[in-house]
Amino acid sequence: MPLVSSNYDPPHFFRNSYFSTVYAGLLRAVKDLRQERERINLPDGDFLDLDWSYTLQPSKKVTILLHGLEGNAQRAYIQGSAKALTNHGYDVCAINLRGCSGEPNTAYRSYHSGATEDLKAVLEHILETTGYAKVYLKGFSLGGNLLLKYLGEGNTIPSELKGAVAVSVPCQLADSLHQLLSFKNVAYAARFKKNLIAKLRTKQDLFPSRITDTDIQKISNLKDFDDVYTSRAHGFADAMDYYTQCSSRQFLPHIKIPCLIINAQNDSFLGEACYPIEEAKHNKNVYLEIPKYGGHVGFYGADNFTYTERRAVSFFDGLG
């Protein structure tokens, strides 16, 4: 499918990548959204917490939301998406990935960019316990990469799953890491590293023989974290093996349901390899929109609904 043209044209300040990203991540607030928590048990004995939001009238449509690195279902970009979708007739299930719901997960492993087994578990749970006729996916950053990998890696896709939207996606993980480790993103990388190490110390309390102080002292940047913990905990040889196996770009040619990817041209987290132009041109199910502005999960919009929140609703509505 040819590239999708974009009409996103924000006010002047929101054309700046840094301001757009920081506003959306730290300053924006979403009010008047009710979330009801459900805990599900996973096949390996761990758990996931799901935060549900519902329309005023019973709905046969549900959207599953997946947050980004060190996010959760209470982040503004998740709550804003949930509010926009419930206002237009979609129930919403916002996944808190392992260890992101405010309570540490019980297993040594956690979540990562390619952990599609947890998304499959949520889909199976919803389809087995509810009567939804149509299911949609929407993911941000890490969560966007995860859902794209799920759609293209050879899973049996449920007939109820009709479409997906992925926002600010690091389709090539090593390329995105290279951007995050550059000077322009030093503040973001430091924040991610601080949060990840705090969680790793909590994990160390549960598994002292598997995570040592020496291990933690080796972590000076995000790649080190993936070498020391992510790769070991999830069966990869090292960080680069993890990035290679889990980057979603390689799976895009195999996606068989309509999927919209929205990656801003000025997203400082994404390098050239994160814009899958050729893949979109050769797969009729992959729609790629590259707005000039938007930053990373930014996309300011009027009335506290972002451009991508409105765009996802219109895309899903258009699928019928």
Burial track 183-203 (b if 16+ CB lie within 10 A, e otherwise): eebeebbeebbeebeebbeeb
Say if CB 289 and CB 260 are below 8 A apart. yes
In terms of Cβ atoms closer than 10 Å to its own Cβ (0-12, 13-18, 19+), residue 307 is buried
267 a catalytic residue: yes
Q: Which of these is catalytic: 17, 20, 113, 141?
A: 141
Residue 101 is a catalytic residue = no
Cα separation, 79 vs 92, whole angstroms: 10
Between the alpha carbon of residue 293 and those of residues 9, 86, 120, 175, the distances in Å are 7, 26, 33, 20
- The residue whose two tokens read 């049996």 is 156
Taking only Cα atoms into account, the Rg of the chain, rounded to an integer number of angstroms, comes to 18
The answer to whether residue 67 is catalytic is no
H-helix segments, 37-180: 76-87, 116-129, 142-152, 173-180
Pairwise CA distance, residues 260 & 287, whole Å: 5
Catalytic residues: 141, 267, 296
